[in-house]
Amino acid sequence: MSLDHAILGFLRYGPRTGYDLKKVFDVSVRHFWPAQQSQIYQSLTNLTDHGHIECEVIAQTDRPNRKLFHITNSGRDELQRWLVAPIAEKPVRAQFLIQIFFAGCLTDTEILHLLESKAKEVQRVIERFEHGEIPHPTHAKDLPPREQFFWYLTLDFGIDNAYQSLRWLKQAIARIRNKDYEQGIAGALAERKSS
Amino acid sequence: MSLDHAILGFLRYGPRTGYDLKKVFDVSVRHFWPAQQSQIYQSLTNLTDHGHIECEVIAQTDRPNRKLFHITNSGRDELQRWLVAPIAEKPVRAQFLIQIFFAGCLTDTEILHLLESKAKEVQRVIERFEHGEIPHPTHAKDLPPREQFFWYLTLDFGIDNAYQSLRWLKQAIARIRNKDYEQGIAGALAERKSS
DNA sequence: AAATTCATGTAATAAGTTACATGATTCC
DNA sequence: GGAATCATGTAACTTATTACATGAATTT
């Protein structure tokens, strides 16, 4: 499972508690693999059961004891195995494409409103990306350059992807304003030069 | 729920059985909202319970009776309401970005293999899109041009998105071959002109 | 005085996937 | 003879989300 392997990936850098993991998730992989605190705890239980991690309890008086998880050799092997194996992606699910698909029963005004609000949402995503908080420098700065490179490569993908969506949305808005739908299919497909 | 509303969307064109719906899903919205046969039957039960659809049983002797589902006024209202309301997208989950994120512990050869196999996968997706089987002409050809336009607009998004991924993958492959990772973060972020 | 941080979890629910179950007819 | 089509579902399982539960210490 992806979440389990992402946890193993972070534990490879050193032992962490469930709480630590949640924090680092939120400032690093959140844009392509968000995780709830509760889900992380469940995964940790699962990984322990499989022998991929081990728990070291650190007693505290004023708070619940900290449970520091360490990756085992079995966990390292499992991570390595998973990282090199091409995996079939879970199918994409885009709700707003369902809305567009059935937009035939909406007015131009309604569908434009939908597309414009979507464009604004994507714009906000781009701003957050470019604001430079993910991956958070605190967590990235001590890594060797090659590791940093891969962390930021995923950010680059996110930005690239968001710009593509935004460009497409703007073009769709223009086509609808231009009433290209009168041409049916021909109006919907953009001309694309070969990759 | 999105699946429920997609079903309502199709039932708006006329009554369908669960079996019919599965067939039309597979040649129309599959690339952004795939659905299992079993899931469609569950949704139909759910929609019936909510009064959004009604079931007309058509007796057959050699096979199970056909259950033709009709959309009700309540269902039409619900669809209309849902279609115009901007909805927060479910967060994207991309397993291969987790692999890239932790690719620091792989060799160049291993990571290149991963990216190249991903590129091939995307290439196959593009070929399938451009082969013109989704949305299947049989289902689209009788619709008015404006409806056809929106059906094909979703296809256009899929193609656009796939090309973006492919371009990005090729660039990432080139950067790794070029050992841009020696520059750390600076090597990972592409120059982007404003949208 | 209120919000945030630290630190742990469990339980319930929702959504989607996979496996199981049946069985005649028709096409290759 | 075997695969595909037609036609229905149920049950188990996995994954992720939301809600619930506790509670001291510190910051605003």
> Is the Cβ pair B106, A83 closer than 8 Å?
yes
Q: B48 CA, C19 C1': separation in Å?
A: 26
Domain boundary residue, one of B36, B63, B84: B84
Q: Report pLDDT digits (tens) over B91-100.
A: 999 999 999 9
Q: How many domains is chain A built from? A: 2
Do B70 and B125 have their domain in common? no
- The domain of B43 spans 2-84
What pLDDT, on the 0 to 100 scale, is given for residue A193?
65
Do A116 and A161 have their domain in common? yes
Among B90, B78, B54, B133, smallest CA distance to A105 is for B78
Q: What CATH code is carried by the domain that includes residue B50?
A: 1.10.10.10
Do B103 and B72 have their domain in common? no
Residue B194 lies in a domain: no
Q: Helical H runs in A50-136?
A: 73-84, 95-101, 108-130
Q: What are phi and psi of A44, to 5 degrees?
A: -65, -40
Q: B55 CA, C22 C1': separation in Å?
A: 22
> Is the Cβ pair B183, A149 closer than 8 Å?
yes
How far does chain B reach from its first CA to its final CA, in angstroms?
Answer: 33
Residue A118 lies in a domain: yes
Q: A195 CA, D18 C1': separation in Å?
A: 43
Quick one: CA torsion of B158, B164, B168, B169, rounded to 10 degrees? Answer: 30
Residue A195 has pLDDT above 80, yes or no: no
Do B78 and B113 have their domain in common? no
Q: Are A55 and A67 in contact (CB under 8 A)?
A: yes
Residue A194 Cα, gap to closest chain B Cα (Å) = 9
Do A99 and A178 have their domain in common? yes
> Is the Cβ pair B95, A2 closer than 8 Å?
yes
Residues of chain B where predicted confidence (pLDDT) is lower than 70: 193-195
Do B142 and B118 have their domain in common? yes
Question: A41: which nucleotide lies closest, measuring CA to C1'?
Answer: C9
Residue A90 lies in a domain: no
Q: Are B119 and B173 in contact (CB under 8 A)?
A: yes
- Name the residue with the least CA to C1' distance from nucleotide C6: A63
Comparing A4-13, A66-75, A136-145, B12-21, the range with the smallest average pLDDT is A136-145
Residue B138 lies in a domain: yes
